[in-house]
Amino acid sequence: MQPVPGASLAPLGGLARYLAIYGAFWRYSLVREMGFKLNFILWILVELLWFGLQLSFMAVIYSHTDHIASWSRWQVVFLVGANHFIQQLFTALFLSNCLKLSENIRSGGLDFLLLMPVNARFLVSLRHVDFGAFFNAASAVVVMVYAGMQLHLAPSVAQYAGFALLLLVGLSVHYSVMYALACTGFWTVRAEGILWGYYNLFQLARLPADAFQGLFRAVFTFVVPVLLVSNVPVKLIIDKLGSPLEMLWLVLISAVMFTLSEWFWRASIRHYASASS
C-alpha cells in the first residue's frame, strides 16, 4: 500500500475543525494519564527532583564565585527556570509524539495516519499530550517569579509580552529541530537515540551563552541553536539584551528551522514506501 501524498501534504484548513480534533486529543490523553495515576504522580516527582538538582548545582557553583560571565546568581536561576519551562512545555506537547514517529514507521501505524483526511503532520505532532509536564512547567514559573523578586525586576508590559512570545519562539525551535530529527526514522531502523541525544542538549540552554566561547558557542548558536532558546527571552526580561537583533535572529532561526523541518518531512514522505508494500 502506498501512502496518499495529498493527505499528508494538504494545507491546514478549517480552524474550528482542527481545534475540535485537538480538544479530542487532550481528552483522550487525560483519560489515559488518569488510568495510571501512580505513574503520573511519580513522573512529576522525578522531574521536580531533577529540577531541584539543577538549582542545587547552580547554588554550588555560586558558592565559589559571584558571576558566570556577567551573570549573577539570581539571573542564572531565572535562566534555569526559563529553560525548564520551555523544556517541560516541549515535553508536554511534542516529545512523545516525535518519539512515536519512528515506531509508527516501523510498525506501519504511519500508513493509518497518512490515510486520514487531516494534515498528517498535525496528527503526528499533536496526538499525545503529557499532562504531568504542565505541573513541572508551573514549578518553573514559581522559580522565575521568585528569582525576579530577588532581582527586583519591574518589567514593562512590552517586556512581559516579548518574553512570553520569545519563549514560544524558542519552543518552536526545539520542536522544528526535533521533528526533523524524528524524520530520520524513515532512513534508519531507530531514531530514538538521535532524539534523546538532542533532548539532552536542552541542558546547555540553562547556562549563559556568554560562558561559552569559540567554535563550541558558534555551533550551538548558529547550527544547533540551543543557546539562544532561553538566553534571548531572559536577556530581554532582565535588561541584558545587547541588541534587538538578538530577538530578530531567534525569530529568523525559528522560521528557518520550521521551513527546513517541513521540507525534510515532505522529502521523507516521498521516500516512504509504507510498511505493507
Asked if residue 3 belongs to a domain, the reply is no
Average pLDDT over residues 21-31: 91
Residue 256 contacts residue 177 (beta carbons within 8 Å): no
| Alpha-carbon gap, residue 56 to 62, rounded angstroms | 10
- 33-56: per-residue pLDDT in tens? 887 778 778 888 988 898 999 899
Q: Can you tell me the distance from the alpha carbon of 44 to that of 266, in angstroms, rounded to the nearest whole number?
A: 36
**7 inside domain:** no
Residue 64 is assigned to a structural domain of this protein? yes
Whether 1 is covered by a domain: the verdict is no
Sequence letter at residue 69 = A
Is the alpha carbon torsion for 208, 210, 211, 217 positive or negative? positive
Q: Distance between CA 86 and CA 202 in Å, rounded?
A: 9
Handedness of CA 240, 241, 243, 246 (dihedral sign): positive
Say if 19 falls within a structural domain. yes
Contact 202, 95 (CB under 8 A): no
**pLDDT tens sequence across 88-117:** 999 999 999 999 998 888 888 888 888 888
When pLDDT is averaged across residues 118-130 and rounded to a whole number, the result is 92
Local confidence band at 5 (pLDDT 50, 70, 90 cut-offs):
very low
Residue 109 structural domain: 13-271
Evaluate whether residue 276 is within a structural domain: no
In a domain, 166, yes or no: yes
- Average pLDDT estimate for 119-132: 92
Nearest-angstrom CA–CA distance, 93 and 110: 19
In the chain, how many domains are there?
A: 1
Give the residue-averaged pLDDT of 193-219. 85
> For residue 255, is it within any domain?
yes
